[in-house]
A and B are shown apart, each in its own frame.
Chain A
Amino acid sequence: MKRKVYLDHNATTPLHPEVKKAMTEAMEAFGNPSSMHSFGRQAHRLVDDARERISSFIGGRPEDIVFVGSGSEANNTVFNLLYCTAKRCEAPHTKRHQVITSQIEHPCILEAAGCLAERGIEVIYLPVDKYGKIDIAKYEGLVSEKTALVSVMMANNEIGTIQDIKTIGSIAHKHGALFHTDAIQAVGKIPVDVRGLGVDYLSLSAHKIYGPKGVGALYVSPGVPFCPFIRGGHQERGRRAGTENTTGIAGFGKAIEMRAKEMDSESNKLLSLKARLKAGIEKNIKDIEFNGHPVDSLPGTLNVSFDASEGEAILLYLDLEGIAVSTGSACASGSLDPSHVLIATGVPAEQAHGSIRISMGRDNTEEEIDYAVEKLAFVIGKIRNMSTVGRSAHGKKD
């Protein structure tokens, strides 16, 4: 059997064994949570339990959690509630025609913001520094009484950089703007407290933290505007129509319960694995560059650029060795554009094309990291041997 090492946890994670067990059990509760009979009540209880676990984990009230179909849906819900002009819309119609987000958001935020821009809303994309941190001074100069919403991600999926959400949110509030954070890569990996942070909306997802795919949640702070993205039912207190994904939600609840137990110790383990991985790469491979913030970063995420090597080739050669990573170079996805996140941090295009993201998780071991380093050194050597970019070119780069 070929050895398999999974190092792509920011893409998705395997189910935690406890989550799998909870979901298998939840599958028996087939009733519609909205039904008043015992079958319905049984399913309803599962949904309520999960809601309580999640809200207490992030510091909110159960009624502030809206279950949705994915993290992307949570993000889109926020961008769609602002400028609804329907009479039935519960959100007060804002006269502020400006939204501020950042250049390094997930595509679902960038696309949703793009749609607003095409509807005549001014959208500002905040720049970041070379570590991927929002330039707070620049942001302060841009936010004003014209701003309706500020949306900045808590932790970046590609480079792992963590933002100072509390400061960014309080500046938004100072100007009367609403504040949303996409915390899909953050919740369950680093401590998140919605009240302490003062966020109005916060998006989270189950499958990044050993829960199932197809279920996410949006935290909505009490009293802030809301307009359902999906209408037609009283589920989720009228905030998200559609019969609840009971099994998925039960799995989400269990995943969060396990995070509460395991996050701190796992985070220490991941930090030490990352240090080992970094040291291993530095020792065995020349002409590399680490991307992202050296300290304020997700514990298990490491983004690294290799000179003279193209990202997709690295990914596929590693795959042949059983190692799964991902690449910011989008060649594999059909577009040739290098990662918008790396470009925003000022990484030159040719370096961005040669970058990979290694994201570790709870099952990874030191031995697996050593194996990955060994194979990575082999693969980079092989690629550089047939690269048009000469080894001497590196010296000239700076």
Chain B
Amino acid sequence: MEKRTEWVYSDKVKDHFINPRNVLGDEAEYNADGKGTVGNIKCGDEMIVAIKVDKANGTIADCRWKTYGCASAIASTSILSEVVKGKTLDFAYHITAKDIAKELGGLPEHKVHCSVLGHKALRAAIDDYYKRNGMTDKVEEEKSHLICQCMNVTDIEIEHAVLEGARTYLELQERTKLGTVCGQCKDKAIELLEEYKERHFNQEDETCRSK
């Protein structure tokens, strides 16, 4: 089991926590090509990511951010903003929370949601760019539905969590942090969990399953 002190004071997290890179100053002045906001301060976490795009190459020229969030939200988004610079939009779009956690040298499970915010806001920023530039066919988010308002978890993420091994509501919560704040999405989430389990892991012999 990891200890809390270890992540807080891993050299990389500490460095980015003390000196956050690419913090977004005046938004109007920055004049972003795409901007995404996720989370809600009532839930204790909010993240804004703004990007400038090198349109000729389809790459991210610059990435800035702001957060109302804890230490790992600050550190992980600071690192994310460095990692994506110069990368293609497509690459940046598919960065996962796991990638960021790896870059940080691992995060304790209860801190994973903090780094999730950064990549979700980045994705929202890229979506915003796509929409502003008539590239809506590239937007993946539109096909998903927000299930958990507090933790910003969609049905697609629930499906991914199931594919990665979540089999119970508790396991689903551990992976996505869904339903950990107000809990209103529980019934819908369980319904989807069962649906995806059925879709991806249905056993052939129905009679063996205890319902």
Contacts and interface: CB of A to CB of B under 8 A. Distances in A.
The judgment on whether A and B are partners is yes
Interface of A: 308-310, 312-313, 316-317, 320, 329, 331-338, 348-350, 353, 385-389
Contacts of A308: 68
B181 A387 contact: no
A391 to B, nearest CB: 12
Contacts of B150: 336
B37 A332 contact: no
Contact of B48 (A334, A335, A388): A388
Contact of A353 (B4, B44, B110): B44
A279 B166 CA distance: 51
Contacts of A337: 181
B195 to A, nearest CB: 26
Tell me the interface secondary structure of chain A in the complex: loop
A389 B45 CA distance: 11
Contacts of A320: 18
Given A320-B18, A336-B44, A331 B23 contact: no
B34 to A, nearest CB: 16
Category for how many chain B residues contact A: 20 to 34
Tell me the interface secondary structure of chain B in the complex: mixed
Contact of B46 (A329, A334, A349, A388): A388
B55 interface: no
A389 B71 contact: no
Interface in B165-188: 177, 180-181
Given A310-B69, A332-B4, A336-B150, 4 more contacts: A310-B70, A320-B18, A335-B180, A388-B67
B122 interface: no
Contacts of A338: 44
Which 3 A-B pairs rank lowest in CB-CB distance, beginning with the nearest? Answer: A334-B110, A312-B70, A353-B44
A304 B149 CA distance: 28
Contacts of B17: 316-317
Nearest to B47: A388
Interface in B1-53: 4, 8, 17-18, 20, 23-24, 37, 41-48
B47 to A, nearest CB: 7
B89 interface: no
B80 interface: no
A389 B46 contact: yes
Contacts of B69: 310, 313
A309 B18 CA distance: 16
B120 interface: no
B92 interface: no
A316 B20 CA distance: 14
A165 to B, nearest CB: 33
A308 B69 CA distance: 9
Contacts of B68: 308-310, 387-389
Interface string B70-89: 11011000000000000000
A349 B24 CA distance: 25
A316 B45 contact: no
A331 B70 contact: yes
7 contacts: A310-B44, A310-B68, A331-B114, A336-B45, A336-B180, A388-B48, A389-B41
Interface in B123-151: 150-151
Nearest to B44: A353
A329 B73 CA distance: 15
